[in-house]
Amino acid sequence: MLGMHKSKQRGTGSDFYKKSSFLDEPDTSRLDLNASLTDPFEGLHVKTFRQRSKLDVQIFVDGSSSMLYADKIKHIQQLFDSIHQSVEAASDHFYGYLMTQSLSTIDSASTLQQAFSDIRPEQNRAESYIKLPQVNLPRPSLVFIISDFHWPEKQLEAMMTLLSSHLVVPVVVWSNAEYADYPLWRFVEVTDLETGKSRLVFVSRRQKNAIEQRYQQRKHYLNQQFRRFNQRPFWLTDHYDPRDMSRYFAMQ
């Protein structure tokens, strides 16, 4: 399908690729008269072009309970809307899904906000990732996975394996309030958003440093896991700037 993105598919496109022998690509409509008449070996040559194509862009948003923490939903909506507008501007194909206990179709940022407002912050996990094979994923697709990736190792590896045939952009959404904003020498109510249970914890400097160190270890672990699948994560912490996403793709 014609689009604005460069494709590896040869054909009657507008992007000149190279000159080829007529015997390799026998198409008289693309005959290069200048190259053919000046060839000392009297061979015939044709111009080869590459077509432009449409992209199929998929967004899978983690709808587990931990995504309700702090301002994560706000940043996810900004990112979702930014990607959606870019896809529409390029006339590409857009598919959005929210992963909770079931897989729900999401077609706009407002729909995503409504879907999040219906989530109860107890015992909710993104277990619907196992239903990805049921989704009609065109090949190849550009796939964004938006999550904090506080997942068990088996779940993370299983999803990466299911999407290994696509170009995957893992978007890791974290908040400094999770690990860096604990006040020292105070009792703090800590809530496990996966279970909804709360408890009081007295935060000492040792505990604060341990929490921050644990998150740094988790960040290193995620980078390693994504690298195994030839993926590079986009880290979104407390602020989303579309220019950061542009730089991310410029470095690919």
Q: Which helix (H) or strand (E) holds 237?
A: strand 234-237
- Banded model confidence at residue 158, pLDDT cuts 50, 70, 90: confident
Residue 71 tokens, joined = 């301002």
Determine the pLDDT at residue 208: 87
Determine the pLDDT at residue 18: 79
Mean pLDDT, residues 146-158: 89
Q: What percent of the chain has pLDDT over 90?
A: 31
* Per-residue pLDDT reduced to its tens digit, 179-232: 877 788 888 887 776 666 788 888 888 888 998 999 999 999 999 999 999 999
* Domain 56-250: CATH class, spelled out: alpha beta
* Per-residue pLDDT reduced to its tens digit, 102-137: 888 898 888 888 888 887 766 566 676 766 766 766
Domain limits, CATH 3.40.50, in the chain: 56-250
Determine the pLDDT at residue 115: 86
- Alpha-helical regions (H) of 90-194: 109-117, 153-162
- Alpha-helical regions (H) of the chain: 33-37, 72-89, 109-117, 153-162, 205-228, 242-250
Alpha-carbon gap, residue 236 to 231, rounded angstroms: 16
Please state the pTM of the whole predicted model: 0.76
Beta strands in 23-166 (DSSP E): 45-53, 56-62, 93-99, 103-105, 142-147
Chain-centre distance of CA 19, in angstroms?
37
Rg of the chain over all Cα atoms, to the nearest angstrom: 24
In terms of C-beta density within 10 A (0-12 exposed, 13-18 middle, 19 or more buried), how is residue 23 classed?
exposed
Determine the pLDDT at residue 173: 95
* Per-residue pLDDT reduced to its tens digit, 37-78: 998 888 999 888 776 678 889 999 998 888 888 789 999 999
Residues 194-228 as b or e (16 or more Cβ within 10 Å = b)? eeeeeeeeebeeeebeebeeeeeebeeebeebbee
